[in-house]
Amino acid sequence: MTDTAKAAARKIPAPAINNESKPFWDAAREGRFLIKRCRACGKAHWYPRLSCPYCFSDETVWEASPGEGVIYTFSVMRRTEGASFAIGYVTLDEGPAMLTNFVDCDLATLAIGQRVKLRFQDTEGGPPVPVFAPA
Amino acid sequence: MSIKGKAYIGGVFEHPIREATDQSTPQLHAECAKGALADAGLSRDDVDGYFCAGDAPGFGAMSMIDYMGLSKVRHMDSTETGGSSYILHVGHAAEAIAAGKCSVALVTLAGRPRQQRGGGLGGARALGPNEAPEAGFENIYGGTTHTLYGMCAARHMHEFGTTSEQLAWIKVAASHHAQWNDHAMLRDVVTVEEVLASPIIASPLHRMDCCVITDGGGAVIVVSPEVAKSLNRPAVKIVGSAEAPKGPRGGQDLDLTFSAGAWSGPAAFAEAGVTPDDIKYASIYDSFTITVLMQLEDLGFCAKGEGGRFVADGNLISGVGKLPFNTDGGGLCNNHPTNRGGITKVIEAVRQLRGEAHPKVQVPSCDLAIAHGTGGVLGARHGAATLIMERE
């Protein structure tokens, strides 16, 4: 089995959803990736929340994102049983870094600074979740 | 108000057990309490302050105070910052004592992760993992402590050229100390080559970059100056303490190359009125080798990015290098009870200050020591705690 096949093999559980995050997951079901931006201070943040973590304003709004960015860092979890997988942070072009998995790639060639693009991966009984693959 | 000189370490105890097949977790807490009280020469009914964190079973402090029959408690605190909680508790106990809220404070930690096949954070039961605000956006990615520290190591290597060989020196130093500790989980001295030959667990960390998983626990007694004078033990005075939280904070300007120790460290040094150059012995939380390297930088023992060069060539080995660290073998070799190593950091620092460390690793004229830790995960949310202690 190649590393590429292994990267795609890990099953992702359904994400926990609450009232605050529901609009994000509803959009994800339609294949749209949303981030939150604050109208008071202008900054985008991740993970999405009602109050801006920078200025504590409630003037945050959902914004569609193309889901493009670069790998800030990553680690490959080596499994002797089950699939090895890569987890790391992507710095979105809008500014915030987000935790994610890297898929559809040769884990041995992942690199910090590499450009990546979002795709949605199915979960076990929940909405699809954002993951990234080399752009 | 400063806590400098307002409280002393009265007693310490590290449970010798590493594989607790026949004990309950509350029992281990009680055995650690008894051990520390005996070390101090105090009795249970002297305890009027109690401190514990997420490893305390049931209703935390309420359950443990009732279980142990602590009937005189008038101050309690169960602040949860993961493995650093117990270093933070010593600082909080000193504050409570300085404020007159208690005079004999008991801090306990215990658990049995080997019996429950647990890696992870060892406790943190509060609301359940799916109630955390970040849960839906993070728990799905299979993050573990290994990968969340591996990410820090990868970024540190990228920015500063830190190498796996340099990280390996931290494990090598710990193993040199552990060979003298009868209770250590791993007593074999290892080489840099052996560390690098151990399998990768979470890149770039090898198996030997990771701490041990052990059952057991420990306890610390913090006392007022008046109580300290009445004890027949060497006086270990608390001269500085500080704590700080750090997280991704919305993701802008994410920087995983430093920890909250960059804030707690300078604050504790300022309170103590000393500098890193004055420190004779350092207990540094060592969940992974990278944890040590980043914290040494953050505390100011070397500049940011210089940690790799600082730890290399045995600089952390007692009797060899400039900064003897974790002379009990640390979490990397000796003990990381309940996946939470903070209390053992305080305990070994107290042994050093009392002159009660193993003769092969005892630092001569050890009159000033630091115990520092970070709990939670460096790759996401963590709490740092720094404690500076002086032999009077």
Chain B contact present for A51, CB below 8 A: no
* CA dist., res. A110 & res. A120, Å (int): 19
User: Measured between beta carbons, which residues in chain B are less than 8 angstroms from residue A83?
Assistant: none
Is it the case that residue A37 has pLDDT exceeding 80?
yes
Beta carbons within 8 Å of B225's beta carbon, 6+ residues apart = B5, B6, B7, B8
Position A1 confidence tier, pLDDT thresholds 50, 70, 90: very low
Indicate yes or no: CB of B136 within 8 angstroms of CB of A75: no
Least confident of A69-83, B27-41, B116-130, B171-185: B116-130
Indicate yes or no: CB of A48 within 8 angstroms of CB of B137: yes
CA distance B33 to chain A (A): 38
Chain centre to alpha carbon of residue B189 = 22
Can you give the pLDDT at residue B129?
61
CA distance B193 to chain A (A): 20
State how far the alpha carbon of B391 is from the alpha carbons of B136, B235, B269, B368, in Å: 48, 6, 16, 6
On whether the CB atoms of residues B242 and B268 are closer than 8 A, the answer is yes
Mean per-residue pLDDT, A45-73: 98
Q: Strands of chain B (E only): list them.
A: 8-14, 49-51, 75-77, 104-111, 200-202, 205-206, 216-223, 236-246, 281-284, 368-376, 382-391
Q: Tell me the residues of chain A between 109 and 128 that have a Cβ less than 8 Å away from chain B.
A: 112-113, 123
Is it the case that residue B76 has pLDDT exceeding 80?
yes
Indicate yes or no: CB of B252 within 8 angstroms of CB of A74: no
CA distance B104 to chain A (A): 40
State how far the alpha carbon of A117 is from the alpha carbons of A33, A135, B106, in Å: 11, 5, 52
3-state secondary structure (DSSP) of residue A119: strand
Element (H, E) at B70: none
Can you give the pLDDT at residue B120?
46
- How does pLDDT run across A79-121, given as a tens digit for each residue? 877 789 999 999 999 999 999 999 999 999 999 999 999 999 9
CA B177, B180, B185, B187 torsion: positive or negative? positive
3-state secondary structure (DSSP) of residue B279: coil
* Residue found by looking up tokens 């169960």 in the block: B78
DSSP assignment letter at B250: G
DSSP assignment letter at B332: I
Strand partners, A101: A87
On whether the CB atoms of residues B96 and B104 are closer than 8 A, the answer is no
CA distance B118 to chain A (A): 16
Element (H, E) at A116: strand A115-121
| Residue in B closest to A43 by C-alpha | B252
Q: Tell me the residues of chain A between 74 and 93 that have a Cβ less than 8 Å away from chain B.
A: 74-78, 85, 87-89, 91-92
Interface size A-B, in CB pairs within 8 Å, comes to 124
| Residue in B closest to A84 by C-alpha | B202
User: Who among B138, B249, B254 is closest to A53 (CB)?
Assistant: B249
Indicate yes or no: CB of A99 within 8 angstroms of CB of B141: yes
Share of chain A above pLDDT 70, in %: 93
Chain B contact present for A23, CB below 8 A: no
3-state secondary structure (DSSP) of residue A104: coil
> In which order are the strands placed within the sheet that holds A34-38?
A44-45, A34-38, A60-64
Q: Closest by alpha carbon to A73, among B143, B175, B178?
A: B143
CA B72, B58, B17, B174 torsion: positive or negative? negative
Let me know how long chain A is: 135
Indicate yes or no: CB of A46 within 8 angstroms of CB of B140: no
User: Who among B249, B252, B254 is closest to A89 (CB)?
Assistant: B254
Mean per-residue pLDDT, A55-72: 98
DSSP assignment letter at A78: P
CA distance A47 to chain B (A): 7
User: Measured between beta carbons, which residues in chain A are less than 8 angstroms from residue B147?
Assistant: 75, 77, 87
- How does pLDDT run across B280-338, given as a tens digit for each residue? 999 999 999 999 999 999 999 999 999 999 999 999 999 999 999 999 999 999 999 99
- End-to-end CA gap in chain B: 21
Mean per-residue pLDDT, B47-59: 95
Phi, psi of B234 (to 5 degrees): -55, 140
Can you give the pLDDT at residue B10?
98
Strand partners, A37: A44, A61
Indicate yes or no: CB of B252 within 8 angstroms of CB of A17: no
- How does pLDDT run across B335-392, given as a tens digit for each residue? 999 999 999 999 999 999 999 999 999 999 999 999 999 999 999 999 999 999 999 9
CA distance A12 to chain B (A): 6
Determine if the peptide bond prior to B266 is cis (ω within 30°): no
Element (H, E) at A89: strand A85-92
- How does pLDDT run across B145-169, given as a tens digit for each residue? 999 999 999 999 999 999 999 999 9
Instruction: Give the mutation candidate from A22, A41, A46, A73 for the B interface (greatest B CB count, under 10 A).
Output: A73
DSSP assignment letter at B222: E
Indicate yes or no: CB of A46 within 8 angstroms of CB of B130: no
Indicate yes or no: CB of B151 within 8 angstroms of CB of A98: no
Instruction: Give the mutation candidate from B140, B149, B157, B290 for the A interface (greatest A CB count, under 10 A).
Output: B140
Mean per-residue pLDDT, B29-43: 98
Is it the case that residue B123 has pLDDT exceeding 50?
no
CA distance A63 to chain B (A): 15
CA angle B335, B87, B206 (to 5 degrees): 40
Can you give the pLDDT at residue A9?
63
Chain B contact present for A13, CB below 8 A: yes
- How does pLDDT run across B196-240, given as a tens digit for each residue? 999 999 999 999 999 999 999 999 999 999 999 999 999 999 999
User: Measured between beta carbons, which residues in chain A are less than 8 angstroms from residue B154?
Assistant: 73-75, 88, 112
Average pLDDT value over all residues in chain B: 95
